[in-house]
Structures are given as C-alpha cells and as structure tokens.
C-alpha cells in the first residue's frame, strides 16, 4: 500500500497536552515498520488556489495571516503555530495525491492512503474548527472533479460528524457524502434528516449511531444504507475520511469498534468501490489513542495486502436496526 507522508506535517505543533499531536504520525510509521509492501510518497503541497476552490478566500487569507503572526488558539480546541500554514497545505496535498493516485488506476496493494495532519473534515467554507483548518478531503475531491472525475463519493467513518465536508458540498450533486458518527457529541450536527439542499438534495447521508455501537452495527450500516446509496450515485472516485477514534480504546469516544472491525469496514468500502468501478483512496482524519490509531491504519494496509478480516458474530442492536431503516427511508431506499 502507498502512504502519502511528509515531515512537514510534524511542524504543526499543538502543544504537549493537545490530543492531535505529531506523535500520531510517528505512531503510525512505527506501527507500519514490520509490514510488507509499505511504500511512502512525499507528495507536493497544494497551492493557495486549490484551498480557495473549497474555502472562502477571505478565510484563507485570515488563516494565513494568523499563522504568519505566530498562531495561537483559533478556538479553544484548534491551535496553530507559524508552521501550521505549511503543514495544512502539505496535508491537503497528500489528500490530493491520494485522489490522483487512485484515479491513475493503481489499485490493489498500491491503494493510496494520505497520512497527513492537521486533519480536515471539520473545516467549513469560512472557518476552522475541531483541530481542522483546511478540509483535506474536500480539496482532494474538488481537484478530482476539476480535472478527471464527474462524481466523487466520500465515506467518513470518523467518530465525529464531518460537518465541514457536508457543508462544503451540501448543495451540490457531484459529491455524495456519507458520515457514520457517534450521536450527541462534537460538533452536534449530522442528523438523519440532513440530506442536502437544492441540487444536493439526497446527496448527503448521515448515520448518527448511539454510543456503544460496535463492529456489527457499523457493518450493518455500511451494508444496508451506505452501500446501496453509493451504488445509486455511481461515483468515479470514492474517498474514505478514515478516522480511527471510534475504536473501543480511543480516549475521546464511547464507541466499541475493534481493530478487526476496521478491517471489515475496509473490506466493505473496497467492495463498494469495486462494484461501482470507482477509484479508491484513504485520507486520515482522527484517532487519538496512539496504539490503536497505529493498529487501525496497519489493519487497512493488511486488508489490502491480502488479510481476510474476521466478521463480527454479534447481533445488531435494535436501535441501530431502526436507525438504518430511518436512513433508508430518508434516501428513498425503503425498509430492508
């Protein structure tokens, strides 16, 4: 598997007590040391125009000036230093590389995974939030649409709702966005009835899962709601906003996904992409337990390297069954 990585992303220094630290990338690299077939690519950063393709130019200028002035707290959670500007352009560049590499048709073991930081899926058109300044997956999707693709799907399995990605594409019909997230936590968005507006009506799919959802629930959601909706959309490119903070041992969530469960999710999205004849790439989002973050990324690699993940044998929670039916009805898929 090919991993987009750059030392520039380590220069975004959030401080010793912040959960989103450079050690996240170091842990991933350490976890991949003993894996077969790992290749690293130091892709080029994006330029300002690529960022302004999905963000308000006034916000981009404000963010640039904020970093030039030495940074600080944009909000209580979102911290920048002078080098954060360069790290953000680099992180978005790695995401763009993942989209481009996927569209080049290099699949199988060389499937691209961008492991940049800061993460991006909370960054909205005109604001930074939730550790995010530039919406990496949105930059990548827009670059693909501008150059080579007609339709792009994004599946976001981070434990937090990808409000920024949703907001950027909410009124468009060339991007389908699906988010699987824990209900009732930051940022408080992502209800089932948030399905898009105008031309984008029906192209946003949200699954706000109850706390404690685990492997069986996530698999059911992907199989019964996300997969048929993506199939109807028929994308040319599928990007995964891959956060690993729904892991049962992550310090900031209450979900119960196992490392093996991330393998099952990886296998499922690979199948969704194959069925749609879509290119497939991964973009890192959250994950704040260093060991389990490394395990999750390593599991994605191992699935593409030939490992067959163990299927969950638990039953699906009744509340999640009802939730899946609600999502299917909201998107005209009917009950199972």
Report the alpha-carbon distance of residue 139 to residue 50 in Å, rounded.
7
Report the alpha-carbon distance of residue 131 to residue 282 in Å, rounded.
19
Query: Is 64 marked active-site?
Result: no
- Find the catalytic residue in 12, 121, 122, 247: 122
Residue 63 has pLDDT above 50, yes or no: yes
Q: How many other C-beta atoms are found inside a 10 Å radius of the C-beta of residue 201? A: 12
Q: Pick 269 or 336 by higher pLDDT.
A: 269
pLDDT of residue 94: 98
Report the alpha-carbon distance of residue 244 to residue 289 in Å, rounded.
9
| Local structure of 240: helix, strand or coil | strand
The confidence band for 105, taking pLDDT boundaries of 50, 70 and 90, is confident
Q: Which residues contact 275 (CB under 8 A, 6 or more apart)?
A: 227, 231
Report the alpha-carbon distance of residue 179 to residue 206 in Å, rounded.
5
Report the alpha-carbon distance of residue 186 to residue 47 in Å, rounded.
30
Mean pLDDT of the residues in the chain = 96
Could you report the per-residue pLDDT of 248-305, keeping only the tens digit for each?
999 999 999 999 999 999 999 999 999 999 999 999 999 999 999 999 999 999 999 9
Q: What sections of the chain are H helices per DSSP?
A: 23-31, 48-52, 57-68, 84-103, 136-147, 163-169, 215-221, 227-233, 259-275, 290-304, 318-330
pLDDT of residue 335: 67
Q: Which residues contact 56 (CB under 8 A, 6 or more apart)?
A: 125, 126
The residues that bridge with 197 in the sheet, in sequence order, are: none
| Local structure of 109: helix, strand or coil | helix
Ramachandran bin of 10, using left for φ above 0, alpha for ψ from -120 to 50, beta for the remaining angles: alpha
Phi then psi for residue 197, to 5 deg, are: -140, 155
Mean pLDDT of the region 223-229: 98
pLDDT of residue 1: 93
323 close to 207: Cβ distance less than 8 angstroms = yes
Report the alpha-carbon distance of residue 136 to residue 212 in Å, rounded.
28
The confidence band for 334, taking pLDDT boundaries of 50, 70 and 90, is confident
The confidence band for 235, taking pLDDT boundaries of 50, 70 and 90, is very high
Report the alpha-carbon distance of residue 138 to residue 291 in Å, rounded.
28
**CA-CA-CA-CA torsion sign (103, 301, 241, 83):** negative
Report the alpha-carbon distance of residue 105 to residue 149 in Å, rounded.
13
Could you report the per-residue pLDDT of 118-146, keeping only the tens digit for each?
999 999 999 999 999 999 999 999 999 99
The residues that bridge with 132 in the sheet, in sequence order, are: 129
Report the alpha-carbon distance of residue 60 to residue 46 in Å, rounded.
13
Say which DSSP state 309 is in. P
Domains for the chain: give ranges and CATH numbers: 2-330 (3.40.800.20)
Task: Quote the tokens at residue 87.
Answer: 């790290």
| Local structure of 323: helix, strand or coil | helix
The residues that bridge with 112 in the sheet, in sequence order, are: 2
């Amino acid at each position: 598997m090919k991993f987009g990585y750059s030392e520039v992303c380590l220069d975004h220094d959030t401080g010793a007590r912040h959960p989103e630290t450079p050690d996240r990338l170091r842990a991933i690299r350490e976890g991949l040391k003993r894996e077969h077939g790992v290749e690293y690519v130091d892709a080029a950063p994006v330029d300002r125009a690529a960022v302004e393709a999905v963000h308000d130019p006034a916000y981009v200028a404000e963010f640039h000036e904020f970093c030039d002035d030495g940074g600080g707290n944009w909000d209580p959670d979102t911290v920048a230093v002078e080098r954060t500007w360069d790290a953000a352009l680099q992180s978005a560049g790695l995401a763009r590389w993942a989209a481009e590499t996927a569209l080049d048709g290099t699949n199988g073991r060389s499937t691209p995974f961008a492991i940049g930081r800061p993460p991006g899926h909370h960054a909205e058109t005109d604001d930074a939030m939730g550790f995010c300044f530039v919406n990496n997956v949105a930059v990548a999707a827009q670059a693909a649409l501008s150059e080579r693709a007609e339709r792009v799907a994004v599946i976001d399995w981070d434990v937090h709702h990808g409000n920024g990605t949703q907001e950027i594409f909410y009124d468009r019909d060339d991007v389908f966005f699906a988010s699987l997230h824990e209900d009732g936590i930051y940022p408080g968005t992502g209800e089932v009835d948030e399905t898009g507006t105008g031309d984008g009506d029906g192209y946003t799919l949200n699954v706000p899962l109850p706390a404690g959802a685990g492997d069986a629930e996530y698999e059911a959601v992907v199989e019964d709601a996300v997969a048929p909706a993506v199939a109807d959309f028929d994308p040319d490119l599928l990007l995964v906003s891959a956060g690993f903070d729904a892991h049962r041992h992550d310090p900031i969530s209450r979900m119960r996904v196992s490392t093996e469960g991330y393998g099952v999710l990886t296998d499922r999205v690979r199948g969704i992409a194959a069925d749609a004849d879509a290119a497939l790439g991964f973009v890192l989002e959250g994950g704040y337990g260093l060991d389990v973050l490394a395990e999750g990324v390593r599991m994605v690699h191992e699935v593409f390297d030939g490992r067959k993940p163990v299927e969950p044998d638990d039953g699906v929670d009744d509340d999640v069954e009802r939730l899946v039916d609600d999502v299917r009805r909201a998107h005209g898929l009917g009950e199972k």
